[in-house]
Amino acid sequence: MGEQEKTGVELLDISSPANFPYDYSCGKIGSFFFKALRDQQKFYGRKCSECGKVYIPPRPVCGPCYAPTNEWVEVGPQGVLECFTVVHFSFLDPMTGKKRPVPYGYGLIKLDRADSRIQHFLSESDASRLKVGMRMEAVFNEEREGKLSDIKWFKPVE
């Protein structure tokens, strides 16, 4: 039976949020790195067997040389702020599935004795108090689980 008198219907929005949990193995190299963060609050980079470049986060093979990295080198915990931004747009963090409150500082830090940079949160969210080239140091969480978020953030060295 046809029924056509209803017009001007309310339009509905359908909401179907989804969680996609995923796990991956950190492998030998990643596990060593994260355990050193967790257990010793230390950073280790991997040194290329040919060019001597020290990678952090560590990697098993050197990008330019294609040679295996074969040595652990302790780097940091201080370094230099090479670039930064202040995030004002909140988005979902894949590590937690939650939004980090804005504003917060985010930067690339070149740790002492490393040849590559790591990205992390900064203690400072006021851009006028950050400067490229300033000395930074890692602040570790008291409770550590063996992941990059064991580092709370990097703060300017007093």
Partner 1 sequence: MAEQKSKKVKAIDETLISHQVLQVPFNYSAGPVASRFLIALRDEKKIFGIRCPQCKVVYLPPRGNCGKCLSALDEWVELKGRGKIQSFTKVNYQESTHPSHPEQFILAVIKLDGADTGLTHMVGEAGEDELEVGTLVEPVFREYRKGNILDIKYFRPIKKGRA
Between 76 and 107, name the residue whose CB sits nearer to partner 1.
Answer: 76
The answer to whether 63 contacts partner 1 (rule: CB under 8 A) is no
SS3 call for 127: helix
| Residues 125 and 95: beta-carbon distance below 8 Å | no
CA–CA separation, 90 and 94 (whole Å): 12
Between 113 and 152, name the residue whose CB sits nearer to partner 1.
Answer: 113
The answer to whether 35 contacts partner 1 (rule: CB under 8 A) is yes
Inter-CA distances, 100 with 111, 136, 152, Å: 25, 22, 13
Residue from 67, 90, 119, 147 in contact with partner 1 (CB under 8 A) = 147
The answer to whether 158 contacts partner 1 (rule: CB under 8 A) is no
- Considering only the stretches 27-35, 80-88, 102-110, 123-131, report the one whose residues sit in contact with partner 1 under the rule CB under 8 A: 27-35
Between 15 and 128, name the residue whose CB sits nearer to partner 1.
Answer: 15
* Other C-beta atoms lying within 10 Å of the C-beta of residue 155: 15
Show the tokens assigned to 120. Answer: 């992390």
Contacting residues for 104 by C-beta, under 8 A, at least 6 apart: 86, 87, 121, 122, 125
The answer to whether 17 contacts partner 1 (rule: CB under 8 A) is yes
Contacting residues for 91 by C-beta, under 8 A, at least 6 apart: 99
- Considering only the stretches 42-50, 80-88, 101-109, 126-134, report the one whose residues sit in contact with partner 1 under the rule CB under 8 A: 42-50
Question: Residue numbers of the site for partner 1 (CB under 8 A)?
Answer: 1-4, 6, 9-28, 30-32, 34-35, 42, 44, 47, 70-74, 78, 92, 94-98, 112-113, 146-147
